[in-house]
Structure 1
Amino acid sequence: MEVADVSALTRRRAAALDDRRGLGSAQWLSAALSLVPADVERPWVWVAPDGGPALVGWGELARFEAVGPGPVASAWRRFRDWAAGHRAGPLAFGSFPFDPAQSGFLVVPRFTLVRAAAGEPTWLIAPAGEPEPRPRDHVHRDAPRLEFTTAPGAEQAWARAIDASRAVLADPDRVEEKVVLARSVDAAADRPLSQVGVLDWLGTRFPDCWIYADDGLVGATPELLVDVHDGVFRCRILAGTRKPGWVQELLTDPKEQHEHALAVASVTAHLEQAGLSAPLLHGPYLLELPNVTHLATDITARVAPGRSAADVADVLYPTAAICGTPRAEAFAQIKAVERLDRGRFSGPVGWMGADGSGQWGLALRCAQFEPGSRRARLFAGAGILPDSRAELEWDETGSKMTPMRQGLARG
């Protein structure tokens, strides 16, 4: 645990946003990002669609790291104990890796702007005595020159990994039903990219997604793993993808329907263990995004007393949508053939309150920026079933990277 020397935190109205309480999510994000100082390279962001919870922060007061089983709840409990000494009710941003052998974290920014919902005031949580943030002057920047590259032989290696996984999935003596494989593309720019600019564009372009930024991991995820507020749980499960123009296939293709059913079952099978009631399901329905369309199912349930969003996230993760099923066997197959360090791609990303409320998405449609923000790595994954075709899955993952390719050009 790393904690800065800080006086008591205060919570006060954010004067610069006091007349913006009616803004939609994207407009609020743009206004809040204008208050981030120009010298901040890596802001902290979580903005839900439809006027849901919205947070923007910068700086760092405290960091709570965790590794191994139950990492989200482990980090949250230490954050909760620390937050008990601050009456302002601090909030923590979090990001955890796909591989539980790697470390994840919760971070309390030095400055946090937070709006509970559209129509509510925006609050500033910051150390006592810190000045009120003011909008910075707009500075015109020419579009960056970007180069996107894949490792030599990447497409051939992808095909081999899919063929090997298909063989396992087709083996009647094996239990694996689905494996999710990922690949990456590297981006290099001729100047430092603005993560603020990328986030602003993502918020406008993808209003149905959760916009996030955590320690240089920037993205717009359409998939909500956990939302716990006032004793109610909800999530959104995605599996089954088509490019625009091929949407009707999602409703008739047995492969896509089966893949989606596996993803839903991977969540519902763990709800009781997570302390949730019998669920209500809405779906599958079509979630149409600018670059792709997904099959989606929303789930709601009641949360048992004493269960936090962190507790639920640890039980439900990893889902079949980003790992496969059964979990342990799918994870082992991924480690055997993927040859990629996902880092925090496809891991839980979100925020927590000390009271146990919070939201966690899956870190999809994202790029991990290197320090200096001249280089970034884009990630995407695809669900592999026995009848998957490597060339189609390559194209699908390319489509999933389109948002970040376009977003980096706005940086």
Structure 2
Amino acid sequence: MIAPEARRTGVASALVHTLSCDVDLSAASGARWLDAVRRYCPPQVDPWIWVAPDTDDAPAMVGWGEQARFTAHGHGAAEKAFTAYSSWAAEHPDAAPVAFGSFPFSRDADGFLVVPAVLLVRRHLGESTVVFGADSPQLHRRDGDLPVIDTLLLDLDADQWRHAVTTATTRLSQDSELEKVVLSRSVSVRASAPMDRGLVAARLSGKFSGCWTYCHDGLVGATPELLVDCRDGLFRCRVLAGTRKPSWSHELLHDPKEHREHELAVASVTGRLAEAGLSEPAVRGPFLLELPNVTHLATDITARVTTTNAAHIVDVIHPTAAVCGTPRELAYQLIEQTETIDRGRFAGPVGWMSPDGSGQWALALRCGQFSPDNQSVRVHAGAGIMPSSDPDKEWIETRAKMEAFTSVLEG
């Protein structure tokens, strides 16, 4: 259910300014823009962040504080929260023009849309950075470094993982209807002192410039998988399934297991486009998406947007087979029966919405959930399990995915 009323913890003014800065940020890469703009966030305040790849021509945003928060859970949670937000926005035309959003993988937990009290946004590469809700924000944060990592705890050891994967492959072999399930694991990292979430996000953006970087209520990551992009009457998403370490990436082009896994992930999106209010789909892929730590099989899907909004599309498409399995409900049930960890918002939708229904959402992958004191972070990764999956290879895959996040904590 939607909260009875939006929770307000600050009020943004009608002030709108162009950010004055020592360097020209209009033409800066998204990573460079983020590294500069995050420094305006006041001390002891954690930022809201969204930065898309430069090739995406999407808004780059840093905000802080909350003017309003809208929560919802269950089926249709994203659209429930969006409906409340859009009604509120109609009565508050001077508020920041976007709400940051994040929803969990489980339907039983609350997700949210938050309107920041202050927002710094560059709408397109080459444009000035505009400030909403503050009069001439000041630089606060100096260059620094992250504290030393002194503890790394496995939430699931290799033997427990092997048991979980074997249980899943046995079920997949016995149930002709169930074709794929995605299992996840996590590690907990503790530092010698609080970590700066904004600095972690900036490092991720710099290292993985082709990904969507986010920082939403302690969930920080840089994901390569775009769930929903709904802007200017067009829909776009990027589906990933099938993974190898870079030195083994050639195997992706010839491995029947990886190709079948990828086909199921693509079908889980294309099969729901009409229900989501989309038409005239075009599919490009699969192709190899090469990242610094892993290589994926990827497919891009585009379509026309009819009478729908980004939140509704999220509710219809998520969870895809890339993070859940096929068929969806059977895989979801097997995950609940097999996984011993709480995914939280890992593998859930993360992104932003505008009151007009446009928005951009990714799957919360390559991420970590920070503790309230910022001194520890729980890092998640998942792997698609097929009947022929090898538990040891899937362990290697999840470790490689986690390294995308943990590597930036180590300098």
Q: TM-score range by the shorter chain?
A: over 0.9
SS in 2 for 1:175: coil
1:153-205 Cα deviation digits (max 9, x unpaired): 6221211111111111111x441110000000000111011111111111110
**Residue 132 of structure 2 aligns to which amino acid in structure 1?**
I
1:279 alignment partner, SS class: strand
Please tell me the residue identity of whatever aligns with 2:65.
Answer: G
Match runs of 1:370-385 below 5 Å: 370-385=371-386
Distance (whole Å) between structure 2 residues aligned to residue 18 and residue 139 of structure 1: 16
Residue 64 (1) aligns with residue 70 (2): yes
Q: Distance in 2 between matches of 1:17 and 1:257?
A: 49
Q: Does 1:120 align with 2:123?
A: no
Query: 3-state DSSP class of the match of 1:259?
Result: helix
TM-score (structure 2 length as normaliser)? 0.95
Return the TM-score normalized by structure 1. 0.95
Task: Identify if the C-alpha distance between structure 1 residues 5 and 186 changes in structure 2 by more than 3 Å, giving closer, same or farther.
Answer: closer
Task: For 1:142 and 1:336, locate their aligned partners in 2 and report how far apart those are by CA, in whole Å.
Answer: 38
What is aligned with 1:388?
A: 389
CA drift at 1:104: 0.5
Matched residue count: 403
Deviation per CA, 1:352-397: give whole Å up to 9, x if none.
Answer: 0011110000000000000111111000000000000101101100
Residue 223 of structure 2 is aligned to residue 218 of structure 1? no
Query: Following TM superposition, by how much is the alpha carbon of 1:16 offset from its aligned partner in structure 2, in angstroms?
Result: 2.9
Alignment partner of 1:133 out of 107, 132, 137: 137
Letter in 1 for 2:106: D
Determine if the alignment matches structure 1 residue 163 to structure 2 residue 166.
Answer: yes
CA contact (8 A) 1:8 1:86 kept: no
- Tell me whether 1:93 sits opposite 2:96 in the alignment: no
- What is the rounded CA distance, in whole Å, between the counterparts of 2:135 and 2:50 in structure 1? 23
Q: Is residue 367–residue 376 contact of structure 1 (8 Å, CA) maintained in 2?
A: yes
CA distance in 2 between counterparts of 1:10 and 1:348 reads: 31
How many Å separate the matches in 2 of 1:265 and 1:400? 24
Letter aligned with residue 341 of structure 1: D
Residue of structure 1 in register with 2:34 after alignment: 29
Q: 1:137 offset after TM fit, Å?
A: 4.9
- 1:10 matched to 2:12? The reply is no
The Cα shift of 1:5 comes to 5.6
Letter in 2 for 1:16: C
Q: Shift in Å at residue 143 of structure 1?
A: 4.3
**Contact 2:236/2:301 (<8 A) preserved:** yes
Q: Is the 8 A contact 1:18 1:122 kept in 2?
A: no
User: Partner amino acid for 2:376?
Assistant: R
Instruction: Indicate conservation of the 8 Å contact 1:277/1:303, yes or no.
Output: yes
Query: Distance in 1 between the 2:151 and 2:227 partners?
Result: 33
2:238 partner SS = strand
Which segment drifts farther, 97-106 or 82-91? 82-91
CA offset digits 1:241-283 (Å, max 9, x no partner): 0001111100000011111000000000000000001211111
Report the Cα offset of residue 141 of structure 1.
Answer: 4.0
What is the alpha-carbon distance in structure 2 between the residues aligned to residue 5 and residue 204 of structure 1?
31
Further displaced range: 365-374 or 278-287: 278-287
With 16-25 and 233-242 compared, the bigger mean Cα shift is at: 16-25
The CA deviation at 1:349 is: 0.2
- Cα separation, partners in 2 of 1:17 and 1:240, compared to 1, 3 Å: farther
8 Å Cα contact 1:17/1:31 also seen in 2: no
Distance 1:237 1:279 in 2: 14
Q: How many Å apart are 1:139 and its aligned residue?
A: 4.6
Contact 2:35 2:199 in 1 (8 A): no
C-alpha contact 2:11 2:117 (8 A) present in aligned 1: no
CA contact under 8 A between 2:180 and 2:331: conserved in structure 1? yes
Q: Distance in 1 between matches of 2:12 and 2:30?
A: 32
Following TM superposition, by how much is the alpha carbon of 1:60 offset from its aligned partner in structure 2, in angstroms?
A: 1.2
Cα distance change of structure 1 residues 392 and 303 upon mapping to structure 2, 3 Å threshold = same
- What SS does the corresponding residue of 2:37 show, helix, strand or coil? helix
Matched letter for residue 149 of structure 1: L
Task: Say whether the 8 Å CA contact 2:147–2:191 is kept in structure 1.
Answer: no
Pick from 68, 71, 82: which aligns with 1:76? 82
CA distance in 2, matches of 1:118, 1:337: 44
Following the alignment from structure 1 to structure 2, what is the Cα–Cα distance between the partners of residues 353 and 18?
A: 29
Determine which of 20, 35, 38 is the counterpart of 2:43.
38
Q: Is the 8 A contact 2:146 2:195 kept in 1?
A: no
* Cα distance in 1 for residues equivalent to 2:12 and 2:247: 56
Shift of 1:9: 3.5
CA–CA separation in structure 2 for the residues paired with 1:141 and 1:199: 13
Matched residues in 2 for 1:403 and 1:176: separation?
30
Residue in structure 2 matched with residue 350 of structure 1 by the alignment: 351
Letter in 2 for 1:61: Q
Given that 1:16 and 1:135 are in contact with CA atoms closer than 8 Å, whether structure 2 keeps it comes out as no
Gaps of at least 5 residues in structure 1 are none
Checking the alignment, whether the CA contact within 8 Å between 1:219 and 1:363 is kept in structure 2 is yes
Tell me if the contact between 1:55 and 1:112 (Cα under 8 Å) persists in the aligned partners. Answer: yes
- Counterpart CA distance in 2 for 1:46 and 1:139 is 21
One of 127, 148, 153 as aligned partner of 2:152: 148
- The within-5 A match list for 1:196-235 is 196-235=198-237
* Matched position secondary structure for 1:235: strand
Deviates more, 1:77-86 or 1:248-257: 77-86
1:102 aligns with 2:109: yes
Shift of 1:238: 0.3
1:115-138 deviation per Cα after TM superposition (whole angstroms, max 9, x unaligned): 111012211111xxx331122352
Maintained 8 Å contact 2:276/2:317: yes
Identity of aligned residues (%): 49
CA contact (8 A) 2:17 2:136 kept: no
Alpha-carbon distance in structure 2 between the residues aligned to 1:286 and 1:5: 45
Any conservation in 2 of the 1:65–1:105 contact (CA below 8 Å)? yes
Question: Per-residue CA shift, 1:70-104, capped at 9, x if unaligned?
Answer: 11111011111111122235210000000001110
